[in-house]
Amino acid sequence: MTSTAVHLPLPRIPRVRGAAGRLQDNPVVGNKRVLLAAPRGYCAGVDRAVVAVEKALERYGAPVYVRKQIVHNIHVVSELEEKGAVFVEEVDEVPPGAHVVFSAHGVSPAVVDAAADRGLHAIDATCPLVTKVHREAVRFARDDFEILLIGHEGHEEVEGTAGEAPDHVTIVNSPAEADTVQVKDPSKVVWLSQTTLSVDETMETVNRLRTRFPEMHNPPSDDICYATQNRQVAIKKVAANADLVIVVGSANSSNSVRLVEVALEYGAKAAYRVDYAEEVKQEWLDGVATVGVTSGASVPEVLVREVLDALDGAGYRDVEEVKTAEEDLMFSLPKELRQDASGQRDARALGDARLVEAPRR
C-alpha cells in the first residue's frame, strides 16, 4: 500500500525586531525564575547539515541549491540564503550541472535519480540516523515485509523513507490510525518510525498495533533519534515545575511542536512555540513565577539567548539549567566536503573521537 506525497511550501517569516524592554516586569506571587532545559537546540545531524551548506558555499561559491529547507528552522534558512544558498522545492528547479544539497530529512531514490538525470552535483546532508531508517526499510522490503511507518504524511523524512520501498510501506499517522490499518499477512509486519516524533505517542501507536498484530517485528534499534528523546526527557522534568513553557522552534519542525505537546502533558500550565523572542506575549507572563525554556533540535542557541534576554527584562533573571543528559556526538561531513578547494582536510572530516562516519546509502 502506498501513500500520496504532500509537498509543503517553504515558509517565509519576516523578522520584525521588537523594541528592547518591551516585556514588563510585573509583580507575581513567588520569585521569578527560568528553568532552562538541557539538552536543547542543535543536534549532530542538524549541525552536520548546516555546516555542509556553509562548506559547499565556501568551496563552490554561490549559488548552491538546497532541496527543501536544509533543516526546519526559518532563521537558519534565512541566514543561509543571505550567504548564497537557494532553496527549491524539487530538483527540476535547479539548473543542470549545478550543486544541490539534499536536506537533513533525507530524500527518496527517485529524487536521487532525478538529480542525476539533470547532471547535478548532489551533496547528501541526510542525517545519518535518518539514513539508518532508510536502510532498514530497504532490508525489510527485500525480505517482503509490510512496513508500518509511524510518522506524519507529507513530512520530508517520511516521504524519503517511504520512497525507499513504496510498495511495502503504509504510513500510520497517529495512534487512532493504528486501530484501522490493514495488512495482508500479520506474520510479516514490521514497524519503523519518523525520527522526530514524540516517544510516548510513538509507543502508544506501537502498542495499539501490537494488540492487533501480535507477531509484528520491531526495528533492530530505536528509530526515534537520541536528540529528540533527550529534549523530550529534559522538558518533562522542566514542565513539572513550570507555570509556562516557551519552546523556541519553527512551526514546521516536528520535534519542536512535539516539545510543546510534551510540556503540556507533563504538567506545564501553558506552553507556546515561538520562532523569535519578539513573539513572546506579555499576557503569557501574567501571574507566572516559573518559566521553562527549551528549543527544538534545529534551533541555534542565539535564538534561545534572545528569549532569555527578553525574559530578563521582565524580571526573570534567575536562570537554572535543568540537565538530564550530556551530548558530544558529531557526524562527519559528506564526503564531497571533507577537503577544501586546496585539498586540505577539513577539521570536521574524520578522526575526532566524537565524529561518526555517516552510513552509506
Query: Where do the DSSP E strands lie in 175-276?
Result: 189-193, 244-248, 271-274
Residue 228, annotated as binding a ligand: no
Instruction: State phi, psi for 10 to the nearest 5 degrees.
Output: -80, 115
290 is in an annotated binding site: no
Task: Please list the residue range(s) of the chain that carry CATH number 3.40.50.11270.
Answer: 44-127+330-337
Q: Of 23 and 355, which is predicted with more confidence? A: 23
Bridge pairing between strands 319-323 and 33-38: parallel
CATH for 33-42+226-323, among 3.40.1010.20, 3.40.50.300, 1.20.950.20, 3.10.450.50? Answer: 3.40.1010.20
Confidence of residue 223 (pLDDT cuts 50, 70, 90): confident
R_g over Cα of the chain: 21
CA distance 192 to 151: 9
- Give residue 22's pLDDT: 87
Answer whether 215's CB lies under 8 Å from 241's CB.
no
According to CATH, the topology of domain 129-212 is: Cobalt-precorrin-4 Transmethylase; domain 1 (3.40.1010)
CATH topology of domain 44-127+330-337: Rossmann fold (3.40.50)
> For the CA atoms of 285, 286, 288, 293, what is the dihedral angle to 10 degrees?
-10
- Determine the Cα–Cα distance for residues 91 and 77; give it in Å rounded to an integer: 18
Is residue 348 predicted with pLDDT exceeding 70?
no
Please write the tens of the pLDDT for every residue from 298-320.
Answer: 999 999 999 999 999 999 999 99
pLDDT digits (tens, 9 = 90+) for 263-278: 999 999 999 999 999 9
| DSSP, res 335 | G
Chain segment 157-171, per-residue pLDDT in tens: 999 999 999 999 999
Q: What is the pTM of this model?
A: 0.89
Residue 152 known to bind ligand: no
pLDDT band at 297 (very low <50, low <70, confident <90, very high): very high
- 124-156 pLDDT tens trace: 999 999 999 999 999 999 999 999 999 999 999
**Largest Cα span, the chain:** 65
With cut-offs at 50, 70 and 90, classify the pLDDT of residue 342: low
Residues of the chain with CATH 3.40.1010.20: 33-42+226-323, 129-212
Chain centre distance of CA 255: 5
**254 appears as a binding residue in the annotation:** yes
Burial of 29 (0-12, 13-18, 19+ CB in 10 A): exposed
Active site members:
157
H/E element holding 33? strand 33-38
Binding residue per annotation — 43?
yes
